[in-house]
Amino acid sequence: MEEIRSLMGGFAVAMTWVNLALMLAGVSLGVLIGVLPGLGGANGVAILLPLTFSMAQSPGGATSAIILLSCIYWGALFGGAITSILFNIPGEPWSVATTFDGYPLAQKGRAGAALTAAFTSSFVGALVAVILITFISPIIAKFALRFGPPEFFSVYLLTFSAFVGMAKGSPFKTITAMMTGFALAAVGIDTVTGQLRLTFDIVELLAGFDFLIAVIGLFGIGEILLTIEEGLEFRGAKAKLNLRVVLDTWKELPRYWKTSIRSSAVGCMMGIVPGGATPASFMAYGLAKKMSRDGEEFGTGKVEGVVAPETAAHAAGTAALLPMLTLGVPGSPTAAVLLGGLLIWGLQPGPLLFVEKPDFVWGLIASMYLGNIVGLIVVLTCVPLFASILRVPFSIIAPVILVICAIGAYTVHNSIFDVWLMIVFGILGYIFKKLDYPMAPLVLALVLGDRAEDSFRQAMLGSQGDIRVFFSNPLVGTITGLALLLLFWPLLSKAIAIARGGNGR
């Protein structure tokens, strides 16, 4: 097959000692970047971009440069899970959903299992996406072109529905949390009218509420406040600390093959569309919760609850490079920076890149396989090391976490205002926990709120106000229909039960 031959050529390009060393360096650096909240993959890659400029001038150098940068990206994808699981602080937006079950697992003393599951699922997700890229990239690239505003909106609607329909607890609390998220997402410039909203002439609010700061505060600081109240210790302190935990977890993982396949599919689709890794992780978690036999117990520390979002996030993160290469449209913020890099190096992403620079493209694709293998080895061997952090007494680790959170919040915009904002969100997170309000809907609305709003209004502009545009072709109609079905599933299932059982008892 043509692709296999090209791929082997790619391996020949990627497998030089220099490139392998760059992969190792990139992945390690990426893990570090992923661990530090605030310093996201996009920032990390942007900072290193100028360094690669000289590198890209030598023959074959552009391939080495993209290998280094993309490996930072893989590393960040792996690394984001670490703090989510250990401290309930998502290092990256796409690891928020990983905290839902990852952190309870760590508290139960199964941090090693949670980390292993997260890393392995990440790897599986990436592998599926890379295989997809290798063999059917032209077909997928065309599929992505079919997404206009109505299609994007229906995908966001599906994400919300996948997550909302199954919310536990009081629906009013869920709605309150979600509306708060939407309100926060509306702050700043409005894409459609070009007007400022809800900024009250405060300079700091011009950029809106950054998702990362909210997340660091709500989850990280909120959690620390709770732990202080409940007594100064980590409940997960007695984690097993050897590599056996990796093997034990691996024995458990094949049981969740359905979730893996579903999450990979969701991830690949969201990466290509391009919706991005964050919605993918939420959607996969929501779907897993609905479809798994143990769905009811999600949130209490199920390995499956870690598998779902991590597989999807990594699949999406990897697949996001495809629209960047073939269409010149980045599927994620990090891909946007990589795209800038390609242009600076004098490469032109787009439909002809595969034809004109086969060495570069196939070298990159080969490096995706190798980079992820290198990444998996690096992070798995460090599992006991990461888990042992939980043995450090809380009175020592808490101030360290606080400092890391503060640095993270500061890094996002180099603004001290954000650090105060983080603390405010921390208090809000504490209150939410105390009053039993769910935080996930708030976070989801904050990260997807303005994108959903933009695409809805773009669709309305295009159709001149005709709402039927969301059913105007088979693609958008199917997604919208699926979303509505998921949204009303709780009501429908009750209705079905009533219809079947006469009086519903």
* DSSP element (H, E) containing 318: helix 303-319
Q: How far is the CB of 157 from other proteins (least distance, A)?
A: 18
Q: Are 45 and 338 in contact (CB under 8 A)?
A: yes
Judged by the rule CB under 8 A, the positions of this chain that interact with other proteins are: 42, 46, 49-51, 53-54, 57, 144-149, 188-196, 199, 203, 206-208, 323, 327-330, 333, 336-337, 339-340, 343-344, 346, 348-353, 413-414, 454, 458, 461-462, 464
How far, in whole angstroms, is CA 256 from its chain's centroid? 20
Least Å distance, CB 482 to other proteins, is 21
How many angstroms separate the CA atoms of 352 and 358, rounded? 10
3-class secondary-structure state, position 193: coil
- Residue 388 identity: S
At CA 139, angle to CA 137 and CA 145, rounded to 5? Answer: 105
CB of 458 to other proteins, least distance (A): 5
Residue 324 or 383 having the CB closest to other proteins: 324
Q: Output 185 or 439, the one with its CB closest to other proteins.
A: 185
Q: What is the largest CA-CA distance in the chain?
A: 76
Closest CB to other proteins among 313 and 329? Answer: 329
Q: Which is nearer to other proteins, 170 or 348 (CB)?
A: 348
d(CA 501, CA 491): 15
In this structure, is the dihedral angle defined by the CA atoms of residues 294, 295, 298 and 300, taken in order, positive or negative?
Answer: negative
CB of 48 to other proteins, least distance (A): 11
Preceding peptide of 274 cis, ω within 30°: yes
What whole-number distance in Å separates Cα of residue 160 and Cα of residue 443? Answer: 11
Contact partners, residue 180, CB within 8 Å, separation at least 6: 442, 445
The separation between CA 156 and the C-alpha centre of its own chain, rounded to angstroms, equals 15
The DSSP code for 247 is H
* Closest CB 485 distance from other proteins, rounded Å: 25
- In the complex with other proteins, the residue whose CB is nearer, 382 or 407, is 407
- Least distance from C-beta 185 to other proteins, angstroms? 14
The minimum distance between CB 199 and other proteins, in angstroms, equals: 7
Give 180 or 199: the residue with its C-beta nearer to other proteins.
Answer: 199
Residue nearer to other proteins on the CB measure, 140 or 339: 339
